[in-house]
Chain A
Amino acid sequence: MTRTPRNTFCGRTRREFLGQVGCGFAGLPLVALLSRDGFFANDPKSNPLHPKSPHHSPRAKACIFLFMYGGPSQVDTFDYKPKLYPLDGKTIDIQTKGRGGTKGQGRVVGPKWTFSQYGQCGKHVSTLFPHLAQHVDKLAFVHSMYAESPLHGSAMLMMNSGSLLSGSPCLGSWVNYGLGSENENLPGFVVMLDETGGPISGAKNWSSGYMPATYQGVVLRPKGAPILDLACPPGTTRPMQRRLLDTLREANEAHAAARPHDDALAARIASYELAYRMQQHAPEAVDLAREDARTRTLYGLDDERTADFGRKCLLARRLVERGVRFVQIYSGGNHNDHNWDAHGDLVYNHTRHAGATDRPIAGLLQDLAQRGLLDETIVIWGGEFGRQPTAEYAEGTGRDHDSAGFTMWLAGGGVRAGTSFGATDELGNAAVEHPLHVRNLHATVLNLMGFDPNRLSYFYAGLDRKLVGPQGAEPVWDLIA
């Protein structure tokens, strides 16, 4: 009497899954590779990274999440609030909740940049993003985002994993769990960090939580060896390593011959050959010397201010081209003004970070579009929350965190371009029209990638866990073309 649970992915029952964990998970990520080499009969469902069919025909094959860590201010970027300018410096009654706690009053900081209209859609964009503004007809803005926490630690976890608490897999992990990998020479979930350091909570932001490490994000560095331990150590050349691997394989095959039918041994032998190939392919994937001067300029590699983020955007395109499913790039790292967390001097902070990212992001959109990749690649822009219309301190232009209403945008991959969705109140403080929880954003991304977010589940600790939580979440249909 076999019963297939309704809401379980891949028709796998929880007991089968637990059984694999207990005794049979060894070697599974490589089964696909091995079966091509004649090791196994076809049993694709036992390989967690084997390319899989999603629930429905996907609009997007890949996703690039441009994470503006620290929280960019909506009213200074894309959420045009003309009524805010004349209130500059005035203290008004306003309900806010941020790092400084819950307040009923605040001194307005008028937007520090002017807005103009762009594109056929006539979208208002501030002068912080002159290059990106040229692409507004590719973008779908969401002005009514809200999150459950106005504090970095938990808000970062929520934006990445849907939960305020650490221990759950991230969006990138879910995408790889659901779709598998198209390129066995590269990780399926790649994270690129800011030069100044990781975001707070570090690796928790690309953790696979209760899923196996197979699905966790791999940190990729834009300079030097892109992946930890990818380069041969000093004193060892590639031919030397090849020679070593030959001996190793011979010895391991002799060992395995005396132990027939052991998938784990076979998989480990194959993993060394795969690693050897990765050492060849991964540097190629990140080798920007192959990009022509026009492309390099497009991404801002010719300007010191934009070169770092531009390099990462260009890498993201190259990775997506090569089948990587999920790429996350952090703008900002470390603490304080090293990221978008503008508590003190808003103008200094946002000029710095927008200045470093505007041209690269515009370049990425244009490049993806001209190569026909934008149709199948979702680009997401946003932070873990936004910023308040009022000042945090008695002096200065710094804004406190605002999770009650903030702006994100999406592009490509089946997103309805040239639109704006939802709205904050007239001061840009809180979402009032079509408020969208972070889970709705996640649900939309999963939907575009071919999944019913309320069915994509992973059985763990007594529950079919979902990225959108036990309560579930609907995709935002208005955002889908």
Chain B
Amino acid sequence: MSRAGSSATKAPLPLRAVSVAPRSPRAANRALALLLAAPLGAQAGVGEWSYSRLTRLEAPATRDVRWVSNPIDAFVLARLEAKGLAPNPRATDATLIRRATYDLTGLPPSPEDVAAYVADRAPDKYERLLDRLLASPQYGETWGRHWLDVVRFAETDSFERDRLKPAAWRYRDWVIDAFNHDKPYARFVLEQLAGDELPDASFESIVATGYYRLGIWDDEPTDPAQAVYDDFDGIVDTTARAFLGISMGCARCHEHKKDPIPARDYYRMLAFFEGLKPYKDGGGNATTPANYVKQVPVDFGHERIEEELAAWRTRREALLAEAKNLADEAIARLDEPSRVALAAERDAGLVQRFDRDRPAERRIPRAVQDDFTIAFRFASTEIGRGRATDPHWFSGSPLVDGEVDGVTDDFGVALVAGHVAAGTGNPDMSVHSSGGLADGAPHHVAFTRTRGTGRIALYVDGVLCSEATGGTQSLAAPATLAIGRIGAIDDLRIYARALDAQDVLDLCEGGGFSRSTERVVEQKAGTPESKRWRTAVDELLRLMRPVRETVEVLCAQESGTAIAPSFVRQRGNVHSKGDAVRAGFPEALGGGEPVFEAPAHGESSGRRLAFARWLLQADHPRTWRVLANRIWQHHFGRGIVRSSNDFGRLGDEPTHPELLDWLACEIVATGGRLKAIHRLVMSSSAYRMASDHRDAAFDADPRNDRFWRFERRRLTAEELRDSILCVDGSLDLRRGGPGVYPPMPAEVLATSSRPDEAWGRSSPEDAARRSVYVHVKRSLLMPLLSSFDLADTDTSCPVRFVTTLPTQALTMLNSEFTNERARVLAERLARERPGDERAQLARGVELVTQRPARDDDLARLTALAHDLRTEHAASPDDALRLCCLALLNLNEFVHLD
């Protein structure tokens, strides 16, 4: 493409700018001076538009006004008319519903959807279609994936160990949810860049800062200090490309060759992120998870818990008072010996008791081994050792614990990441409560064990929370029990019997709830009273205390509010400090010194929030243009700027600069709600054009720079896999959660240095979930997905490659996956059209192409089935299966008009 060509495309439109004043003349001059001073100054003017403030433009006038559905069409048509071109006619309804359904959901429509849409005569059927698709949860999965490409989402670190990033999937789910809930783009940006620094930070906004932890990371670098800055470089480079459309990475070592980004600007930008804690503090290959993983209450920022707790307390106290009053009245009528006997019954089997008045016991002799109950109260603000994802009693911090290394006939109660967990050994069996018990408040715990059945049960605050069946041997191993290695413990009682639920409630509440009490109420107060008592106690036994569950979140963390000085690092060498710099915005984009406001929690400096707020100015030269371009790219197959991560001198010129600016302003005007923008773009005549070839138009504009037709495209890797699963009826649309592990061919596992441990195993249902949920391991990608041009996982991927290779055909013809899917599809056809091969094949065509089968389809497929049976001795089942395999390989299946 010659320069002359691109400047010619700029000339013809008469455009009227509504506002043209740059924010500050000084900044504009500075930007211009940099542009002129940049190397290769011969091309002054190229890319300059991308440094100018965003301004609102009016749509141009066109000769043909009927084609113009909205201003997008005016911009497109004006350029077509200037070149004497006409747009393609409208695509058929069947083409359009298939295009729109893939575009918004990444999945094919059902044949029934297509038929109903084609038959629909209502004038608003297209609008209704868009509404339905935009409301579908599959929308977020598809558009979220586009964003995951840009931020190089993966769930492992790469390098030797290719370690799992804890709970990285929460970030993926956050992205999907953000699209599905139409989160305004400004909020989308703020939460990722500074979700922990926002005044209204929430669980979701903390999860969003996982953005900073997605990159490759060498856990055993040869130069640890340099590695910290390699990680910062990944953040700067990805952030600059994702949000600003600039590749800044090369300015790390030298002045940017083409764009006006001096190395100083790079380090000023890096300084915004320099407060982030590194992955590790020490040497070796150990990590410091506390630097990048945090336990966060799931309701953080939503304040549900206080209300729920208040309601729980009110209800519980009312029930307790009711039952207790009834019990007290009845007991008052007992004679003295009966009262004493009743009290004594509670202590039956009590073998050890420790109160705060007998403090400092760290170990006590074990006195129970068969049937027992360990009950106590504790309060702690520390959450205890171990992981919330696997709260096993012996991995936590001991509360009352008999665990001894190397001994298996043991038992204990521990605090594990905010969960109380208890269990018995040989075989190991553990029960645990919900998390969130390390809230500083006192909690009553009872752990019971019955040897005869092996039943173990855990009660917290008088309510049963978990039970299980463990071993039935005598638990004689620990000679002593460790007491209270975490928090404060009081009122410890050990019984040589398993208390039942009422006994535990009775113990927790100081009497009035045991079965003996019930008898007294029955005898002394009468049946109506005992029924009221029973009802209250039944509810108490079920009334769980609301807990503030905390979970592991991969997130940004800084060390405090202080801002350490930043430096230029000469030639990118961290050990070679140059001038001191302060965080600041790139000069070419207006420059300026930010003002930092540290968040009230005092854990970070506010630098990232200042950066995010700068990005989100309504007339920012890049933010909204870059976003508008990405949206256009995924609707039309290419961006208005084809190099969607590189605006400016390094990238392509926009084919429709005025349209880009108009669309960017429209995004600002809608408050950054993208669903409105999808609706706008997809309602244009430009989007609804046919993809047909026209000789004259092709000769005049072979690259389709002016959008005289809609670009045909191949399905992406994920669309291909998901569509195959969809047409055979197996696609599992469950959403979210940890990544899944579809079967990996043994040959591919063998490429890993630890073939046996390289990949997990999921249930068949999980293995049939959407591709966006497949675990992303940097050193081991699913061959089906990677061979169809999955995004590179190590650097930001703005545009996927579309390669066509014979190895792809081999995968589609011979892989276990496609052959298994063909088998399942054949079964579906046999089930839905029993006993009629022609009808089966017709249904197959219909499912795969979403149109009715034609005679030529059926002629080809029946001939294939016939020949396979007669000339190749295939069974009817095998013949049908191979016909299905042929269907899955059709160009019509994998391409969209």
Contacts and interface: CB of A to CB of B under 8 A. Distances in A.
A295 B758 CA distance: 37
Contact of A23 (B259, B711, B803, B891): B711
A164 B803 contact: no
Given A166-B159, A240-B868, A264-B802, A271 B809 contact: yes
Nearest to B160: A153
A167 B216 contact: yes
A25 B890 contact: no
B704 A23 contact: yes
A213 B249 contact: no
B878 interface: yes
Given A247-B864, A255-B890, A462 B646 contact: yes
A267 interface: yes
Contacts of B781: 203
B779 A23 contact: no
Given A153-B218, A461-B241, A27 B810 contact: no
Contacts, number: 303
B814 interface: yes
B792 A22 contact: no
B751 A463 contact: no
B332 interface: no
A259 interface: yes
B809 A275 contact: yes
B614 interface: no
B753 interface: yes
Given A2-B3, A233-B816, A275 B807 contact: yes
Contact of B780 (A25, A150, A202, A463): A202
A380 to B, nearest CB: 21
B754 A197 contact: yes
A345 B158 CA distance: 29
A213 B789 contact: yes
B685 to A, nearest CB: 21
B886 A229 contact: no
B652 A15 contact: yes
Interface string B240-259: 01000011111001101111
A10 B646 CA distance: 22
Interface string A147-161: 011111111010000
Given A26-B804, A152-B160, A200-B160, A462 B861 contact: no
Interface in A182-241: 184, 187, 193, 197-204, 209-210, 212-214, 218-219, 221, 227-233, 235-237, 239-241
A67 to B, nearest CB: 13
Contacts of B222: 97, 148-151, 154-155, 164, 403
A347 interface: no
Contact of A256 (B230, B804, B891): B891
A184 B158 CA distance: 32
A18 B703 CA distance: 13
Given A15-B1, A21-B801, A29-B805, A204 B778 contact: yes
B872 interface: yes
B237 A461 contact: yes
A92 interface: no
Interface string B757-774: 010000000000000000
A24 B711 CA distance: 10
Interface in B590-634: 633
Given A23-B704, A210-B792, A243 B867 contact: yes
B536 interface: no
Given A167-B792, A202-B780, A203-B779, A2 B753 contact: no
Contacts of B794: 165-167, 209
B886 A247 contact: yes
Contacts of A18: 642-643, 646, 651-652, 799
Contact of B872 (A165, A232, A237): A237
Interface in B783-838: 783, 786-787, 789, 792, 794-796, 799, 801-811, 813-816, 819
A13 B250 CA distance: 19
A293 interface: no
Interface stretch (B48-56, B114-122, B725-733, B742-750): B742-750
A259 B803 contact: no
Contact of B159 (A154, A237, A240, A278): A154
Contact of A30 (B256, B745, B804, B814): B804
B807 to A, nearest CB: 7
A250 B801 CA distance: 27
Interface residues of chain B: helix, strand, loop or mixed (majority): loop
Given A256-B891, A462-B249, A271 B808 contact: yes
Contact of A214 (B249, B642, B805): B805
Contact of A154 (B221, B246, B889): B221
Contact of A165 (B230, B714, B754): B230
B220 interface: yes
Interface residues of A, number: 99
A165 B152 CA distance: 15
Q: Which of B646, B787, B802 has the most CB of A within 10 A?
A: B802
A23 B895 contact: no
A200 B754 CA distance: 8
Contacts of B874: 240
Contacts of B247: 461-463
Nearest to B815: A229
Given A23-B642, A463-B257, A251 B792 contact: no
Contacts of A269: 891
Contact of B218 (A164, A248, A461): A164
Contacts of B19: none
Contacts of B857: 251
Contacts of B237: 461
A214 B803 contact: yes
Contacts of B878: 235
B892 interface: yes
B700 to A, nearest CB: 14
Given A164-B218, A256-B891, A262-B693, A197 B755 contact: yes
B804 A27 contact: yes
B814 A265 contact: no
A252 B250 contact: no
Nearest to B891: A252
A13 B642 CA distance: 14
A214 B256 CA distance: 30
Given A150-B222, A197-B754, A203-B781, A271 B805 contact: yes
B425 to A, nearest CB: 32
B753 A199 contact: yes
A25 B642 CA distance: 13
Interface in B283-327: 283
Interface in A359-410: 403
B893 to A, nearest CB: 10
A231 B753 contact: no
Interface string B102-146: 000000000000000000000000000000000000000000000
A275 B813 contact: yes
6 contacts: A154-B221, A198-B753, A213-B787, A227-B810, A275-B806, A462-B249
Given A154-B220, A197-B751, A267-B804, 6 more contacts: A29-B803, A229-B814, A236-B819, A271-B806, A461-B241, A462-B258
Interface of B: 1-4, 158-162, 216, 218, 220-222, 230, 237, 241, 246-250, 253-254, 256-259, 283, 633, 637-639, 642-643, 645-646, 650-653, 691-693, 698, 703-704, 711-712, 714, 745, 747-748, 750-755, 758, 778-781, 783, 786-787, 789, 792, 794-796, 799, 801-811, 813-816, 819, 856-857, 860-861, 863-864, 867-868, 871-872, 874, 878, 882, 885-886, 889-892, 894-895, 897
Interface of A: 1-3, 13-16, 18-19, 21-30, 97, 101, 148-155, 157, 164-167, 184, 187, 193, 197-204, 209-210, 212-214, 218-219, 221, 227-233, 235-237, 239-241, 243-244, 247-248, 250-252, 254-256, 259-262, 264-265, 267-269, 271-272, 274-275, 278-279, 333-335, 403, 461-463, 470
